[in-house]
Amino acid sequence: MATTEPKRRRMPRAERERQMITIAEEIFAERGYQASSMDEIAERVGVSKPMIYEYFGSKEGLLVACIRAARAELLAITLASVEGITSAEEAMRRGLEAFFAFIDSHRRSWELLRQEAAVAGQAAMDEIEGIRQQQTEVNAAMLASYLPGARARELEAYGEVIVGACERLATWYVAREDVTAGDAAAIIMRTVWYGLATSTHGDR
User: 157 in a domain, yes or no?
Assistant: yes
Residue 162 vs residues 52, 87, 155, 185: alpha-carbon distances, Å:
37, 17, 11, 11
User: 109 in a domain, yes or no?
Assistant: yes
pLDDT value, residue 198 = 65
User: 204 in a domain, yes or no?
Assistant: no
Q: CA-to-CA distance for 98 and 169, rounded, in angstroms? A: 14
User: 2 in a domain, yes or no?
Assistant: no
Higher pLDDT, 9 or 125: 125
Based on the structure, what is the number of domains in the chain?
1
pLDDT value, residue 8 = 54
User: 151 in a domain, yes or no?
Assistant: yes
User: 57 in a domain, yes or no?
Assistant: no
CATH number at residue 73: 1.10.357.10
pLDDT value, residue 202 = 42
The pLDDT of 104-110, averaged and rounded, is 78
User: 27 in a domain, yes or no?
Assistant: no
Long-range Cβ pairs for the range 16-23 (8 Å, 24+): 16/47, 16/55, 17/55, 17/65, 18/69, 19/45, 20/45, 20/47, 20/52, 20/55, 20/56, 20/62, 20/65, 21/62, 21/65, 21/66, 21/69
For residue 55, pLDDT over 90 is answered with: yes
For residue 204, pLDDT over 70 is answered with: no
For residue 180, what are the domain limits? Answer: 68-197
Residue 202 vs residues 33, 120, 148: alpha-carbon distances, Å:
48, 46, 14
User: 139 in a domain, yes or no?
Assistant: yes
For residue 200, pLDDT over 60 is answered with: no
